[in-house]
Amino acid sequence: MDLRKYQDIFLPAVEKEMQKILSINLGKFSGALQEMLSYHLGWESGTVIKKLGKGGKCIRPLLVLLCTEGAGQNWESAIPAAAAVELAHNFSLIHDDIEDVSDIRRGRETIWKKWGVAQAINAGDTMYSIAYKAMLGLEDTCNKEITIEATNLLGDTFIKLTYGQYLDISFESREKISINEYWKIVEGKTAALFGCSTKLGAMIAYNKEVEQDKYYQFGFSIGMAFQVFDDWLGIWGQLEKTGKSIISDLVQGKKTLPVVLGMQNSKKFARRWKEGGISTREAKDLAEQLRKDGVEQKVLFTAKELNKKALINLEELKIKNDIEIVLEELMDSLLNRQ
């Protein structure tokens, strides 16, 4: 089977599990709390799969299920974990939108923009809690030992994710950061959850021949490449295709890779960046300046090199050949998002 066929099988199962978890935990409460979470996930207007199954979305639960299957266990046993990591990811998006003051997510208003900051915080906190509840479902499909290990891994990942976001925000007030500081941000806010996803697959497979740390490194490398390309999309992507605001990284002073490299390789960009207060109109001109000075190509080259590293990590895994081919297809699709 190719990637699309696996998506058609896996993603509806993940969505069903997520809907079940939300219904069990929120169905007894009145008010708009469940409505906010359903809105964020796209359930109030058609299936979430059509929204999240394209362009790298729902990549984390796919990695959980593919790695479980590839490591020798039936993918269905990992559905609770796949649902948990997708809920965890969406918790981070809700809070990120608040912290970044982002108006648009997936082509429409963010939760905080629609319901206000205070209620959006409540929605994010609820999504965070439900992610843990989802992971506990592994007791029914695996065993208690794996459930404890998986839940602990998720907790460690939340800490890394939050620390990465903390660094991202704290560096906004600085004129520039080093490339090593940039990588620390990416390791926490993005790569950690990818690594968690692939390691969960190996953990749930419960195969003694499988080295869980190698699975983690594989996912971690994918996450690094994913974020670098996401940084490219944040400046040079198209709103109608990405479904989220573009150029905003420059306006908000985000220290993404194009900015870090721009400070080193574009005198005109560096001079204007130091002055601060970049408008949306100026951001478009600065994006073009970065392109002229070769920064865009450096960013794309970096993403491709990180993807090559992930491919090397993949080759080191003891994984089924057919799943390895699908994972390669998935990785290729991540660098062809628009």
Look at residue 221 and tell me whether its pLDDT is greater than 90.
Answer: yes
The pLDDT assigned to 246 comes to 59
Q: How confident is the model at residue 293 (pLDDT cuts 50, 70, 90)?
A: very high
Q: Which residues contact 108 (CB under 8 A, 6 or more apart)?
A: none
The percent of residues in the chain predicted with pLDDT above 70, rounded, is 93
What is the average pLDDT value for the chain, to the nearest integer? 92
7, pLDDT greater than 90: yes
Q: Quick one: tokens of 272?
A: 């204007």
* pLDDT given for residue 107 in this prediction: 82
Residue corresponding to tokens 């390691």: 199
Tell me, rounded to whole angstroms, the distance of Cα 101 from its chain centroid: 18
**Nearest Cα to 184, choosing from 91, 257, 89, 98?**
257
Contact criterion met (CB below 8 Å) for 104 and 82: no
Evaluate if residue 208 carries a pLDDT over 90: no
pTM score, whole prediction? 0.93
Provide the pLDDT for residue 55. 37
Q: Would you state the pLDDT for residue 13?
A: 97
Per-residue confidence (pLDDT) for residue 53, from 0 to 100: 44
Residue 61 pLDDT = 98
Q: Kindly state the average pLDDT of the residues 9-29.
A: 95
Q: Which residues contact 20 (CB under 8 A, 6 or more apart)?
A: none
* 336, pLDDT greater than 90: no
The predicted structure's pLDDT at residue 244: 54
- Interior CA angle at 297 toward 295 and 301, to 5°? 120
Mean pLDDT confidence for 261-290: 93
**Can you tell me whether residue 102 is helix, strand or coil?**
coil
- Give the pLDDT band (50/70/90) at residue 48: very low
Residue 187 near residue 224, CB atoms below 8 Å = yes
Span 73-102, mean pLDDT?
Answer: 96
Q: What is d(CA 312, CA 254) in angstroms, rounded to the nearest whole number?
A: 31
For the segment 120-131, the average pLDDT, to the nearest whole number, is 98
Reported as a pLDDT band with limits 50, 70 and 90, residue 229 is very high
Q: Please determine, for residue 240, whether its predicted confidence score (pLDDT) is greater than 80.
A: no
**List of long-range contacts for 46-50, beta carbons under 8 Å, 24+ apart:** 47/12, 47/15, 48/15, 48/18, 49/7, 49/11, 49/12, 49/15
Q: Place 49 in a pLDDT band, splitting at 50, 70 and 90.
A: very low
Query: Of 55, 71, 81, 72, nearest to 3 (Cα)?
Result: 55
- Residues 201, 97: Cα–Cα separation, whole Å: 29
d(CA 47, CA 49): 5
Spelled out in words, what is the top-level CATH class assigned to the domain 3-233+310-334?
mainly alpha
What confidence score (pLDDT) does residue 172 get? 83
Give the confidence band of 209 by pLDDT, cuts at 50, 70, 90: confident
Taking the C-alpha atoms of 173, 178, 180 and 186 in order, what is their torsion angle to the nearest 10 degrees?
40
What tokens appear for 312 in the block?
A: 């090397």
- Tell me the two tokens of residue 152: 């602990």
Instruction: Fill in the amino acid letter for 149.
Output: E
Average pLDDT over residues 314-325: 94
pLDDT, residue 57, reads 74
> Mapping DSSP to helix (H, G, I), strand (E, B) and coil, where does residue 148 land?
helix
Amino acid at 147: T
Query: Hey, which of 137-141, 210-214, 233-237 has the most confident mean pLDDT?
Result: 137-141
